[in-house]
Amino acid sequence: MPASTPRHLCSIAAALVLTVTAPATAATAATARDTAADLQEVMFVGNNWDGTADVIRSTGDFAKVGRIDVIPDRQERLAEINADPIRWIYYQAIRDTVGEGHDQFADDMYSTPDGSAVVVSRPSFADVVSIDLATGDVNWRFPVAGYRADHMALSPDGTRVAVSASTANTVHVLDIETGRQLGSFASGDKPHENIFTRDGKYLWNMSIGEVNTALDEPWLDWTKGDRHITVVDAATYKQVKVIDMRQRLDDAGLTDFSDAMRPAVFSPDDSAFYFQVSFFNGFLEYDVATDSITRVKTLPKNPATSDDRTTWVNDSRDHGISVNPDGTKLCIAATMDDYATVVDRATLEEGPLVTAAKPYWATVSGDGKECVISESGADRITAIDFATGRRTASVPVGDHPQRVRLGHVQAGWSGPSTG
């Protein structure tokens, strides 16, 4: 109110506000409780090569709850591709290179806050779709710029997804309920991983550049393109900072390291950033406040892994990293070395090496007690106890599981209706 407003009117206004807002707040809280009671927390496992997502329990035995077809519109999409020579060339190129001879149908996925749908990025179809979990139908579809969709990120409030359009050097931000584009921004070459800060203020995008050439020796790393971190304001999608990790690596004496950013994770307070780079068996720690690399962790090599870099899938060595809720342990997927391990964050000492077949991702169970990795070479997920570093469960899933994400479905859900 204006400074000249009489004090007694201010008191009346305050009372009116309390009278109006208190019941609404209570009703909102009751609605939230009712909604939560109607939901079941699960994990979505994207089976990239067969175009399905397995839904499993988020804790305990990680038993399968149901399965979703994420390409119900496959024939329609293929007809469009076959009618466009340029799109057909890109479709085949994706299949023959990054797809290792297979279609890429399910890269990343997140459920809507009400558990009614799952939103999936589909590289081969260059789009993002919302799949109705009750019917299995497509709610909406968003074609990305260019010819390939890649990793996504979910905003902390669950209302937005950011998706990398890897051939267009663009990141789209979409309303998760409607698929409407809320904004977009330019990235480095081949945008890959996206991460919202935990306070929801910023969105970080990491670009990996070209990963399908045979120019893999350290002295040829410059041929891989312009790779950097693009930090944008998560409200306006305007660029606020660019972090050139090449400079930070060189400053740390790591001149032979690639600056192609792979999976990454923030510490719980967003003060430290842990990331993997192409060709390296291990990870690096970056201090956000000082803008510098502070520690490097080299993990054991598997003697059976070839030293020929051109044989490593999409320039990966390690691909998958997560942190437990209290920030004391990291979990690493050593993709080309066929194991996963839990690392103490304070000492950087690794635990037991848990044998795994081409682990491709690492996430955290619903209760925060276990790391869950996707074993793309064995078509299963495996849970590893953060406290002991030991395997606790393995569950079979579909063909070539990659991303594993926590989400929700309606209580009692077991799959789309077939009626």
Give bridge partners of residue 337 from the DSSP assignment: none
Rounded CA-CA distance 360/210 in Å is: 19
Q: What is the pLDDT, as a whole number, of residue 213?
A: 87
**Quick count: other Cβ atoms within 10 Å of Cβ 399?**
15
Least confident piece of the model among 8-22, 98-112, 217-231, 238-252: 8-22
**Is the pLDDT confidence value at 19 over 60?**
no
Mean pLDDT of 189-210: 96
Q: What is the pLDDT, as a whole number, of residue 418?
A: 63
> Domains in the chain and their CATH numbers?
44-410 (2.130.10.10)
Buried b or exposed e, range 273-297, using 16+ CB within 10 angstroms? bbbbbbbbbbbbbbeeeeeebeebb
Q: Assign 36 a pLDDT band (cuts: 50, 70, 90).
A: low
**Is the pLDDT confidence value at 8 over 60?**
no
Percent of the chain with pLDDT over 70: 91
Give bridge partners of residue 374 from the DSSP assignment: 361, 381
How many DSSP H helices and E strands does the chain contain?
4, 28
Tens of pLDDT along 328-380?
999 999 999 999 999 999 999 999 999 999 999 999 999 999 999 999 999 99
Q: Assign 20 a pLDDT band (cuts: 50, 70, 90).
A: very low
Amino acid at 318: D
Q: Assign 59 a pLDDT band (cuts: 50, 70, 90).
A: very high
Contact (CB, 8 A) for 386 and 357: no
**Is the pLDDT confidence value at 33 over 50?**
no
Q: What is the pLDDT, as a whole number, of residue 12?
A: 29
Contact (CB, 8 A) for 416 and 134: yes
3-class SS string, 285-349: EEECCCCEEEEEEECCCCCCCCCCHHHCHHHCCCCCEEECCCCCEEEEEECCCCEEEEEECCCCC
Rounded CA-CA distance 116/139 in Å is: 10
Mean pLDDT of 184-200: 97
Mean pLDDT of the chain: 91
**Is the pLDDT confidence value at 25 over 80?**
no
Give the three-state DSSP class for 30: helix
Tens of pLDDT along 128-169?
999 999 999 999 999 999 999 999 999 999 999 999 999 999
The length of the chain in residues reads 419
Give bridge partners of residue 381 from the DSSP assignment: 374, 395
**Is the pLDDT confidence value at 272 over 80?**
yes
Rounded CA-CA distance 16/23 in Å is: 12
**Is the pLDDT confidence value at 31 over 50?**
no
Q: Assign 1 a pLDDT band (cuts: 50, 70, 90).
A: very low
Tens of pLDDT along 62-84?
999 999 999 999 999 999 999 99
365 contact partners, CB below 8 Å, separation of at least 6: 43, 58, 59, 62, 371, 372, 383
Q: What is the pLDDT, as a whole number, of residue 195?
A: 98
Contact (CB, 8 A) for 189 and 210: yes
Rounded CA-CA distance 265/269 in Å is: 11
